Chains A and B, each alone.
Chain A
Amino acid sequence: MEPERWQKIERLYHSALEEEKSRRAAFLEQACAGDRSLRKDVESLLAQGEETGSFLEAPALEVAAKALAQDRARLADAASRPDLMVGRTISHYRILQKVGSGGMGVVYQAKDTRLGREVALKFLPAAVRLGLISAPLHGPQALERFQREARAASALNHPNICTIYDIDEFEGHPLIAMELLEGQTLQERIAVGGGLVPVPPGRERPGEPALNVVKGAPLTVDTVLELSIQIADALDAAHAKGIIHRDIKPANIFLTSRGVAKILDFGLAKLASPVGAVSDRRLSGGRDDAVTALPIASIDVDQLTSPGAAVGTVAYMTPEQARGEEVDARTDLFSFGAVLYEMATGRRAFAGKTTALIFQALLTEAPPPPLQLNPRLPPRLEEIIHNALEKDRDLRFQSAAEMRADLKRLKRDRDSGRAVAALEVSSSPQRALSTLVTGSGDVQHAAISPDGKYVAYVREAEGKQNLWLKQLATGGDVQIATLGEDECHGLAFSADGSHVYLVQNDRLKFSGDLYKLPCLGGTPRKTLAGISGPPAFSTDGRRVAFVRRTGDEVGLLTASVDSSSERVLVSCKPPEGIGRVAWSPDGKTLAFIHYSPQPVLNTIGAEGGQAQPVAGEPWVEIEDLTWLPASPHLLVAGSPQGVSGLFAPSQLYEVSVEGGEARQITHDLSNYTEIRASADAKTLLALQGRVLATIQVAIPNKESEVRPVSAGNQNADGMAGLAWTPDGRIVYYSARDERSNLWEMDADGSNSQRLTSNDASSFSAQPAVSLRGGFIAFGQSDRKGGNIWRMDMDGSNLKQLTQDYESLIPAISPDGRWVVFTRQQGDRSVLMRIPSAGGPTSQLTNYTSYWPSVSPDGKWIACKYFPSQDQPAVLSMVPFAGGQPAKVFALPVTAGSPFVWTPDGRAISFVNRVNGVDNIWEQTVAGGPPKPVTHFTSDEIFWFDWSRDGRLALSRGTEPTDAVLIKNFR
Chain B
Amino acid sequence: MIESSAHQVTQLLKAWSEGEQSAIEKLIPIVHDELHCLAQRYMANERPGHTLQTTALVNEAYLRLVDSAHTSWQNRAHFFAVCAQAMRRILVDWARSRQAMKRGGHIRPLQLDEGLAVAETPGADLVALDEALKALAAVDPRKSQVVELRFFGGLSVEETAEVLKVSNETVLRDWRLAKSWLRRELSGEKPDGA
Q: Do A and B bind each other?
A: yes
**A73 in contact with B46 given A14-B173, A61-B91, A171-B104 (CB within 8 Å):** yes
- Decide: A55 and B179 in contact? CB cutoff 8 A: yes
Task: Please tell me if the beta carbons of A67 and B105 are within 8 angstroms of each other in the complex.
Answer: no
- Once the chains are docked, how many angstroms separate the CA of A588 from the CA of B25? 79
Docked Cα-Cα span, A938 to B17, in Å, equals: 55
Write the chain A residue with the least CB distance to B1. Answer: A281
Instruction: Give the dominant DSSP class at B's interface.
Output: helix
Chain B, residue nearest A285 (CB)? B1
Give 1 or 0 for each of A416-432: 1 = CB within 8 Å of chain B CB: 00000000000000000
Write the nearest CB–CB distance from A157 to chain B, whole angstroms: 32
- Interface positions, chain A 1-23, Cβ under 8 Å from B, are 1, 6, 10, 13-14, 17
Contact B94 A62, beta carbon cutoff 8 Å: no
Taking residues whose C-beta sits less than 8 angstroms from the other chain, chain B's interface range is: 35 or more
Interface membership of A280, Cβ < 8 A: yes
Kindly state the separation between the CA atoms of A41 and B191 in the bound complex, as whole angstroms.
5
In the assembled complex, the CB of B137 is this many whole angstroms from the nearest CB of chain A, namely 12
> Which stretch of A131-139, A836-844, A899-907 is in the interface?
A131-139
Check if A322 is an interface residue, CB within 8 A of chain B. Answer: no
Which residues of A have CB within 8 Å of B37?
287, 292
Q: Find out whether the CB atom of B126 lies under 8 angstroms from the CB atom of A61.
A: no
For A925, list chain B residues within 8 Å (CB): none
- Contacts A56-B179, A130-B101: A75 and B119 contacting too (C-beta < 8 A)? no
Asked whether, in the complex, the Cβ of A304 is within 8 Å of the Cβ of B183, the reply is: no
Q: Which of A160-209 contact B (CB under 8 A)?
A: 171-173, 206
A65-B29 in contact (CB<8A): no
Q: A59-B154, A281-B5 are in contact. Are A126 and B126 (CB under 8 A)?
A: no
Interface centre among B33, B101, B180 (most CB of A within 10 A): B180
Residues of B within 8 A of A284 (CB): 1
Contact of B42 among A1, A65, A173 (CB under 8 A): A65
Contact A61-B62, Cβ < 8 Å, known A37-B191, A66-B122: yes
* Cβ proximity bits B128-156 to A, threshold 8 Å, 1 near / 0 not: 00000000000110000001001111100
Determine if A473 is an interface residue (Cβ-Cβ < 8 Å): no
Nearest to A13 among chain B residues (CB) is B177
B69 CB contacts on chain A under 8 angstroms: none
Q: Is A6 a contact of B177 with CB atoms below 8 Å?
A: no
- On chain A, the number of residues with a Cβ less than 8 Å from chain B's Cβ atoms is 68
B129 to chain A, nearest CB (A): 8
When distances are taken between beta carbons in the complex, the residues of chain A under 8 Å from B36 are 68, 132, 135
**Chain A contacts for B32, CB-based, 8 A:** 131, 135, 138
Q: Is the CB of B151 within 8 A of A56?
A: yes
* B192: interface (CB < 8 Å): yes
Q: Which residues of B contact A6 (CB under 8 A)?
A: 139-140
Contact of A291 among B44, B110, B189 (CB under 8 A): B44
Query: Given the complex of chains A and B, what is the CA–CA distance between A311 and B184 in angstroms?
Result: 48
Contact call A10/B117, Cβ cutoff below 8 A = no
Task: Render B153-166 as a binary contact track against A, CB cut-off 8 A, 1 for contact.
Answer: 11000000000000
Within A54-100, which residues are at the interface with B (CB < 8 Å)? 54-75, 78
Ranked nearest first, the 7 interchain pairs of A and B with the lowest CB-CB distance are A172-B104, A67-B123, A65-B38, A68-B39, A67-B122, A69-B42, A59-B154
Question: What is B's interface to A at a CB cutoff of 8 Å?
Answer: 1-2, 5, 28-29, 31-44, 46-47, 54, 58, 61-62, 87-88, 91, 94-95, 97-98, 101, 103-108, 110, 116-120, 122-124, 126, 139-140, 147, 150-154, 173, 176-177, 179-184, 187, 189, 191-194
30 contacts between A and B (CB under 8 A): A36-B192, A40-B192, A45-B177, A49-B180, A52-B183, A55-B117, A56-B147, A59-B62, A60-B88, A60-B151, A61-B87, A61-B91, A63-B119, A63-B123, A64-B126, A65-B58, A67-B95, A67-B98, A69-B39, A73-B43, A75-B106, A130-B98, A131-B32, A136-B29, A138-B97, A172-B103, A172-B107, A279-B1, A291-B40, A307-B44
Known: A56-B118, A130-B97. 5 other contacts (CB 8 A): A37-B192, A52-B183, A66-B42, A67-B124, A292-B37
**Residues in chain A within 8 A of chain B (CB atoms):** 1, 6, 10, 13-14, 17, 36-37, 40-41, 44-49, 51-75, 78, 126, 129-132, 135-136, 138-139, 171-173, 206, 277, 279-281, 284-285, 287, 289, 291-292, 304-305, 307
